[in-house]
Amino acid sequence: MDIGQLLLGRPLRKRDAGHEEIGSTEGLAALSLDALSSVAYGPEAIAFVLITAGLGAMHYLLPISLALIGLLLLLVLSYSQVIDAYPAGGGAYAVSRANLGTNVSQVAAAALVVDYTLTVAISISAGVEALTSAFPAARPWALVICLAVLAVVTLMNLRGVGESARAFLLPTLVFIVGLLALMAWGFVHPMAPAIHPLPAAQPVPLFFLLTAFAAGCTALTGVEAIANGVPLFREPRQLRAKRTEWLLGGILALMLLGLAVLTIRFSVAPGGAQTMLSKVMVAAVGHSWGYYVVALAITVVLALAANTSFGGLPLLSSILARDGYLPHVFAMRGDRLVFSPGIYVLAAAAALLLIASGGNTQALIPLFAIGVFTGFTLSQTGMVVHWCHARPPHWALRAGLNGLGALATGVATLLFVITKFTEGAWVVVVIIPLLVVLFRGIHRYYDRVNAVLVPGHIPGPVEARPRPMIVVPIEPHLSELTRRALDHALSLSDDVVAVAILLDPESDDDPTEASLRQAWTDWAPPVRLEIIQSEYHSVIRPMIQFIDGLSPKAQQRRVVLIPEFVPDSAYGELLHNQIGTMLASALRRRTDVMIALVPMHVHQEFVPAPAHDAENGT
Amino acid sequence: MDIGQLLLGRPLRKRDAGHEEIGSTEGLAALSLDALSSVAYGPEAIAFVLITAGLGAMHYLLPISLALIGLLLLLVLSYSQVIDAYPAGGGAYAVSRANLGTNVSQVAAAALVVDYTLTVAISISAGVEALTSAFPAARPWALVICLAVLAVVTLMNLRGVGESARAFLLPTLVFIVGLLALMAWGFVHPMAPAIHPLPAAQPVPLFFLLTAFAAGCTALTGVEAIANGVPLFREPRQLRAKRTEWLLGGILALMLLGLAVLTIRFSVAPGGAQTMLSKVMVAAVGHSWGYYVVALAITVVLALAANTSFGGLPLLSSILARDGYLPHVFAMRGDRLVFSPGIYVLAAAAALLLIASGGNTQALIPLFAIGVFTGFTLSQTGMVVHWCHARPPHWALRAGLNGLGALATGVATLLFVITKFTEGAWVVVVIIPLLVVLFRGIHRYYDRVNAVLVPGHIPGPVEARPRPMIVVPIEPHLSELTRRALDHALSLSDDVVAVAILLDPESDDDPTEASLRQAWTDWAPPVRLEIIQSEYHSVIRPMIQFIDGLSPKAQQRRVVLIPEFVPDSAYGELLHNQIGTMLASALRRRTDVMIALVPMHVHQEFVPAPAHDAENGT
């Protein structure tokens, strides 16, 4: 408890949760880091495909990047329209639920879950690769650093991150300005004599280029985030959000273009202990302080990009839980007002991915982009339906634009699945339907529960049952525990029976039926005693048999009152035999038994029973 | 549940547990396998020391074995006297508790716990080494086979082993007769020409020989088992038990002697992929069918020796639990009438030892023998006290004999600790006191609990408390669950208050204070409703605050009645938010709150409340 508070901070009152509203530049920091930081791994994913056809094929990096920039502009245009249509935040789940029905929206939700999880794993591993490129000595510890970063991000999110956008602003600006400046310097400065130009490009098959293009689609992940986060912006919201979306598109396009040109200019090839981006940066400015500043900014921005998913997935899963597609616990906020269960699950899944991939970004790339692009496709398709239904001015043009976006991203999704299927994409192709099956199973369960409970309706009449019959399981050694239990039982009803289970005596200290009966007679409480000689070496089994065997009339009004000794510490819990707990959980499985627990503590002082007073006595 | 029954068998009634009584030969099978099977690793432990001084030093195996045989005869003599004095079974714990007080008996208990655990690990690893000596192809799987054997032995013991002695008879006889016959053949048959005699022995320091002697003491472990098990024998018990003890002494002496002579005759040295015993056997009879039969018998007998500990430790820990030195749960028998918790703990500890040692017997040897010889020393010392108190005829002679035994085993213990300290014996030297500290801590805890409970005495007068005030936490959505809870609450008392905690509405479906109040008025149950607007995003915290804040008079008679939805399956458990369980466990920590659970099931049919009848109405 105390350690938890030390790490996570004291519980927050709800009024502590202020709403900060952001402008366009802050929006870039808060919502577009996932997209911008993709330059750290997207172009490298293209190059990893190209290099298999020889160094000369690296020339194709430029046309492929241009094609990606074309797709990017189409996406930015499409999402500007989403911002227009869904000022309350138009995530793929919300848009497809509104326009395409619950079945399709479940697919969108599953795709988003996969996407958020992979974003965390890939961003962190890419960030650590940027770090180990700059500081090769840290390379053997890459996976450990990945997990440490994940732990820090998780912990910060469990605390609840306040004022995030403003805190993110500085590293975001250093990253954008630094990287662009560094690229600009790379264009103008004279070439180092050691750099030989790439060999001339040989013709390659179209399918090969499509494979490289599909791999590059990972660079476009995250452009949807601004459209999801419209409510975070200051008024005029939609205008500011759209401005941020175009700003993001422009910067990302510039970075992709610059990186492609410089890679070719400096004849950089992927592979080895350094990322391609790091090699380009070194070729441009050497191991100068500028290099280190930008490298660190890349690491921080990637970690912050992972952080964005920690905002997104728990929120999405709380919405899914409210819609009955995930366990209700995902809709519960923790003491720090965050949706803790979603955070825990995301952290665990990302840790698994990092460990399974050994912290290697390129091993995770084949799994990425499918979820994102499925989301793109569904949300654009939903927009087409939206325009056709709503029919505002220029609806046909708008529908056409979104339709083009849906087509392009749909083709890209298919291309990605086909070209990366055997490298790992099949995992996602299997997991998304499994998630949908899970969502539906959970929903069916809640439907059944709701059929029994009929929540939200006025229930039937309340009719007090007859006074219950109280069964008090007692230990064969009479003690203060027994006395307290009988005290409490008699306060609930006059119909009380104490039940003792006797095992074969194993030592002379063990009570026999006769000795227990004698002790009871000496004590003379106003309660009937039943003694059962157990056929088994268990007290639970005969106790349950006794309770099940009560007369049909008593069946309707059984209360089993379990005296429980509650230790002060978890250490103490181990020292008690848990028979009470075992009995209670066996009884929970039965219909129409009320279980009453009477806890008693080691340090408890003896509390004398107060005298009867007038108010009592039905 | 079903898988458990499939593996472990149906629950046994106590009358199913027949007592089998055994004769002298069966006693050998039931109680002396631990001792007899020590020949598989004891002489090898000596040889491992000797070989460090060169091949010539192997000649010292014979005098050291003779010294061990001397100690063995002293022990057999001593334990014959224990059998005379403690016909009810005189384990080191019982003898030292009776004669040396509880403090010393705790040391004996700790030593025995260590001993039993190591016996399991060493017997299994030695058994598997005997197997891989015969079948070298299995060698890479040694550790896996060890753990598999451990799993089988554990499972058999969880089932409860019936008719064990008779089942053990055949492998025991094959082992004894086979090994002795094989040794006899080794004496008489002509030497193979390939065997060169050992080089002549060089003088070595006395301390070196003492080290080797101490290592050999592991061969004497287990000779105490017969004295512990006297009650298992047929009448005349003591006579039969003593006969078995002497039979064991004779056979073990013969085997130790024969093995020493043959090892020297065949110039066998320890080390490599084969055990020394296996090498001697091969030298005597080659890879004949006789070799394989005896090798298999050795493996089986060692596995059965491990099995003996599974009989011993759970029984010992149940006695310790009854004496209040271990958690009471160790005194509880499972469905199959065995002390399951002891079996689980022993299996886990043995598995840890096997994994830590990589299944290598000689790595475990330095830990062994200390526990056993501490037990020997304490039990012999206890016997000296016993004779001096009881003073039967010849008591001085008897006391002298046991005293000599105590002295010899005490010196051997010290010798072992000193010579093996840095090789691992220190672990045991640390663990035994830690176990004693644990025993005492647990005992102190139970003393405190007993001071509160005063069990076994007639408790104070039972005084029915006033009718309780029932607090019913309800969900803000009224449902059948609420109705059932109020029904039950009204059967216990007229003073019922329903408490709803409202969080900030996050969607339009969420009830507000006004809408809930309206629904309650429409429903109109005869129960007061309290609505609390939560400052936190938690319902537990304000609920506890409400219950703690009840008037001092109500404090004495609080019942919190928690309506609980109980799913049909463990899968379903995950889908409920567990608020009820969390509230119950928070309340358990409070004094003087009774917790009443009203379980409701998905499949539950609606049970109409029965009409009030005459018997009810206090």
pLDDT digits (tens, 9 = 90+) for A508-544: 667 788 888 988 988 888 889 999 887 766 788 888 8
CA distance A114 to A309: 11
DSSP category for residue B22 = B
Spatial neighbors of B610 by CB under 8 A, at least 6 apart, are A465, A466, A553, A556, A557
Chain B residue with CA closest to A564: the answer is B588
CA distance A276 to A281: 9
Q: Which two tokens stand for residue A341?
A: 């269960």
Residue A437 confidence (pLDDT): 93
DSSP category for residue B477 = S
Residue B609 confidence (pLDDT): 37
Please tell me whether the overall predicted TM-score, pTM, comes out greater than 0.80 for this model: no
Could you tell me how many residues make up chain B? 618
User: Given its phi and psi angles, is residue B253 left (phi above 0), alpha (psi -120 to 50 degrees) or beta?
Assistant: alpha
B12 touches chain A (CB under 8 A): yes
Nearest to A488 among B465, B553, B576 (CB): B465
Q: Which two tokens stand for residue A515?
A: 């000795």
| Residue A8 clears pLDDT 60, i.e. is over it | no
| Residue A618 clears pLDDT 70, i.e. is over it | no
Is the pLDDT higher at A22 or at B516?
B516
- How far is the alpha carbon of B584 from chain A, nearest alpha carbon, in Å? 9
How many degrees, rounded to 5, is the angle at CA A517 between CA A511 and CA A521? 130
| Letter string b/e over residues B277-298, b meaning 16 or more CB atoms within 10 A of that residue's CB | bbbbbbbbbeeeebbeebbbbb
Closest CA to B529 of B597, B484, B482: B482
CA distance B182 to A371: 71
Contact B369, B83 (CB under 8 A): no
B12 — phi, psi (to 5°)?
Answer: -95, 140
pLDDT digits (tens, 9 = 90+) for B112-162: 899 999 999 999 999 999 999 999 888 888 999 999 999 988 888 887 654
Beta carbons of A575 and B534 less than 8 Å apart: no
Q: For strand B528-533 and strand A593-601, is the pairing parallel, antiparallel, or unpaired?
A: unpaired
Query: How big is the A-B interface in CB pairs under 8 Å?
Result: 293
| Residue A161 clears pLDDT 60, i.e. is over it | no
A482 touches chain B (CB under 8 A): yes
Beta carbons of B556 and A607 less than 8 Å apart: yes
| Residue A424 clears pLDDT 50, i.e. is over it | yes
pLDDT digits (tens, 9 = 90+) for A119-136: 999 999 999 999 999 998
Beta carbons of A557 and B491 less than 8 Å apart: yes
Residue A509 confidence (pLDDT): 66
Residue A614 confidence (pLDDT): 35
Residue A328 confidence (pLDDT): 84
CA distance A382 to A98: 8
| Residue A465 clears pLDDT 80, i.e. is over it | no
Q: Which of A30-39, A454-463, B8-17, B74-83 has the lowest mean pLDDT?
A: B8-17
Beta carbons of A483 and B494 less than 8 Å apart: no
Residue B608 confidence (pLDDT): 39
Q: Which two tokens stand for residue A107?
A: 């697919």
Closest CA to A383 of A366, A400, A367: A400
A317 touches chain B (CB under 8 A): no
- Which residues of chain A neighbour B528 with C-beta distances below 8 Å? none
Beta carbons of B617 and A613 less than 8 Å apart: no
- This complex has an ipTM of 0.71
Spatial neighbors of A3 by CB under 8 A, at least 6 apart, are none
pLDDT digits (tens, 9 = 90+) for A294-328: 999 999 999 888 888 887 888 888 888 888 899 88
- Which residues of chain B neighbour A557 with C-beta distances below 8 Å? 491, 610
Residue A20 confidence (pLDDT): 58
Residue B509 confidence (pLDDT): 65
- Section A601-605 average pLDDT: 61
Residue A150 confidence (pLDDT): 93
Q: Is B314 exposed, middle or buried (0-12, 13-18, 19+ CB in 10 A)?
A: buried
Q: Which two tokens stand for residue A233?
A: 């912006």
First to last CA, chain B: 43
Q: Which of residues 434-473 of A touch B (CB under 8 A)?
A: 442, 445-446, 448-449, 452-460, 462-468
Beta carbons of B519 and A458 less than 8 Å apart: yes
Residue B75 confidence (pLDDT): 92
Contact A431, A349 (CB under 8 A): no
B538 touches chain A (CB under 8 A): yes
Segments in chain B below pLDDT 50: 1-2, 18, 162-163, 605-618
Map out the domains of chain B with their CATH numbers: 21-447 (1.20.1740.10), 469-601 (3.40.50)
Q: Which of A2-16, A366-380, A414-428 has the lowest mean pLDDT?
A: A2-16
Beta carbons of A482 and B459 less than 8 Å apart: yes
DSSP category for residue A163 = S
DSSP category for residue A278 = H
CA distance B41 to B128: 12
CA distance B45 to B215: 6
DSSP category for residue A197 = P
B16 touches chain A (CB under 8 A): no
DSSP reduced 3-state for B162: coil
B502 — phi, psi (to 5°)?
Answer: -105, 130
Residue B149 confidence (pLDDT): 92
Q: Which two tokens stand for residue A182?
A: 């560094």
Output the DSSP codes for A6-68: HHH-SPPPGGG-PPP-B-HHHHHHHHSHHHHGGGGTHHHHHHHHHGGG-GGGGGGHHHHHHHH
A604 touches chain B (CB under 8 A): yes
Contact A131, A138 (CB under 8 A): yes
Residue A325 confidence (pLDDT): 92
- Which residues of chain B neighbour A574 with C-beta distances below 8 Å? 327, 329
Beta carbons of B491 and A612 less than 8 Å apart: no
Q: At what angle do helices B206-216 and B61-85 cross, to 10 degrees?
A: 50
For the beta carbon of residue A572, count every other beta carbon within 10 angstroms.
17
- How far is the alpha carbon of A106 from chain B, nearest alpha carbon, in Å? 18
Closest CA to A340 of B615, B419, B173, B577: B577
Closest CA to A132 of A269, A268, A273: A273
Mean pLDDT estimate for chain A: 84
